[in-house]
Amino acid sequence: MQGFVSGMHRSAARGSSVEFAEYRKYSPGDDPRFLDWRIFAKTDRFYIREFEADTNLRCYIVVDTSGSMRFGTGTVQRIDRAKSIAATLAHVLINQGDAVGLCGIGQSAPSDIPPRRAAKHLPVIYNRLADLKAANGNLLVSGLHQLAERIKQRSLVIVISDFFDEVSLLLECFKHLRFKKHDVALFHLLAPKELTFDFESPVNLVDTETGASLATDPLLLRDAYLESLNAYLQELRVGCANFRIDYQMHRLDNEYEKLLTDFFVSRLRRRRSSRA
């Protein structure tokens, strides 16, 4: 991460922290202050000592506000869970001195809040989250591409969505974000029914985004649906792995605290492993 202040997050760039990172051969233009004269005395070669750069975090929390986010369990809608997760993440990150921005991607124009680390920024985020409504269109793919172009500094981009779109298109977005040197984490929110498709009686399924309906006997569609969903999840997960993207799937009937704990723990492990 790269910020204007020193933070608790290890930066991808080499910096001026006290933690030694590695040696590398001197090249013209390097700061001679980092020449290791002892090594020169031993080997007659110039080596530069590099240290880990600790920096603060710039995080963009992207909340999908497409119509499909209205779906959920009987008590929780996906958009509500997304807001909760986003609010929790914002609270944690701002409290530890990181800058947090918010971006809602839906039918309406993207509503960005640029990242700030001030504590007074948190209510702004909360208010904006409260204003977010799940609209009818799905503009996640285009919204992410626009976001990738808008963000000028390397950031952590956390996308909270159901990702109901073509996996290839989604992976193109993620690739775009990664190309812009952003760290990307996905929170994939799925309702239990979307995972089990366990309707007991014939239903008329109404698309929450387009309003199209499909009257069917779910018992007949279930196998094919689960097969298709399974293929989609596998493709998505493999794609994320290829692009080194954190992927967390969350069932709406589960508590999201565990999801966040797992997320943070995985980030911590990743940091340690990369340091090792």
Partner 1 sequence: MNYLQPAMLWALPAMLIPVAVHLLNKMRYKNVDWAAMHFLLKIQKDSTRRAKLREILLLAARTLLILAIVLAFSRPISGGWLAKAISTTPECVIVLLDRSSSMGARTSINGGSKLERALSIVKESTAQHPARRYVLVENVDRQPLELQDISGLDSLELTVQTDTAANIPAMFQTAVEYLVHNQIAQSEIWVLSDLQATNWRIDDPSWKSVSEAITGLGQGTGVYVIDLSMAGAENTSTAAISATLRESDGYESGDKHGSPIHSPRASQLALKISLNTNKTQQHSLPTFLTVNGARSQSDVPLAGQRQTELFRLDYPETKAGWAKCEIPVDSSPGDNAAYFAWPPARRAVATVVGDPASASTRRIQLAAAPTSDSRQRSASIIPSRFLDSELLERTDLLVWADGTPSMEQVNLIMKWLEAGGVFLLFPPASEGASGLNGISWNRIESTEQSQPITSWDENDGPLSKTESGTNLPLHQVSVLTRQTPVTPQNSHVVATFSDGQSFLTRVPSGKGQLYLAATRVSESWSSLQDGTVLVPLLQRLLTQGLALREPLCMGIAGEWRPDPDEVWTFEPDCIGAEDQSNTRTRTPRTHSGVYRCGNRIIALNRPPTEDAHEAVHPGEILGLLPSSQTHVYEGAIESTSADEASEVWPLLMGLAIALLFSESILSTSKLNLTTRKPMEEGTTRVSRFGSVAL
Q: How far is the CB of 104 from partner 1 (least distance, A)?
A: 17
| φ and ψ at residue 65, rounded to 5 degrees | -115, 25
**Binding status of residue 212 toward partner 1 by CB under 8 A:** yes
Least gap, CB of 80 to partner 1 (angstroms): 14
Residues 6+ apart with CB under 8 A from 199: 193, 218, 219
Q: Which is nearer to partner 1, 127 or 254 (CB)?
A: 254
157-192 per-residue burial string, b: 16 or more CB within 10 A, e: under 16: bbbbbbbbbebeebbebbbbbbebebbbbbbbbbbe
| Chain residues 55-74 in contact with partner 1, contact rule CB under 8 A | 67-71
Alpha-carbon distance of 52 to 148, in angstroms, equals: 26
> In this chain, which of 165, 183, 184, 245 binds partner 1, going by CB under 8 A?
165
Binding mask 110-149 for partner 1 (x = CB under 8 A): ----------------------------------------
Q: Which two tokens stand for residue 216?
A: 């069917």
What minimum distance in Å lies between the beta carbon of 249 and partner 1?
Answer: 6
Indicate whether 230 belongs to the interface with partner 1 (CB under 8 A).
yes
Question: Which of 76/229 has CB closer to partner 1?
Answer: 229
According to DSSP, the residues that pair with 102 across neighbouring strands are 61, 113
The amino acid at 96: Q
Residue 159 Cβ vs partner 1, minimum distance, rounded to whole Å: 17
195 forms part of the interface with partner 1 (CB under 8 A): yes
Among 234, 244, 261, 270, binds partner 1 (CB under 8 A): 234
Q: Does 169 help bind partner 1 (rule: CB under 8 A)?
A: no
Q: Which of 174, 154, 187 is nearest to 239 (CA)?
A: 174
Q: Is 216 in the site for partner 1 (CB under 8 A)?
A: yes
Beta carbon of residue 199, minimum distance to partner 1 (angstroms, whole number): 7
Give the containing element (helix H, strand E) for 197: none
Question: Does the protein bind partner 1 through residue 76 (CB under 8 A)?
Answer: no
Q: Does 255 bind partner 1 (CB under 8 A)?
A: no
At residue 220, φ and ψ (nearest 5 deg) are -80, -30
Determine the straight-line distance between the first and last CA of the chain, rounded to whole angstroms. 18
The interface region with partner 1, picked from 45-53, 145-153, 174-182, 193-201 by CB under 8 A, is 193-201
78-95 helix and 121-131 helix, angle to the nearest 10 degrees = 170
| 157, 181 contact by CB (below 8 A) | no
Among 168, 204, 273, 274, indicate the residue that binds partner 1 (CB under 8 A).
204
User: Dihedral sign, CA of 254, 159, 269, 230?
Assistant: positive
Could you list the residues that contact partner 1 (CB under 8 A)? 67-71, 78, 162, 164-165, 191-192, 194-199, 201-210, 212-217, 219-234, 237, 249-251, 254
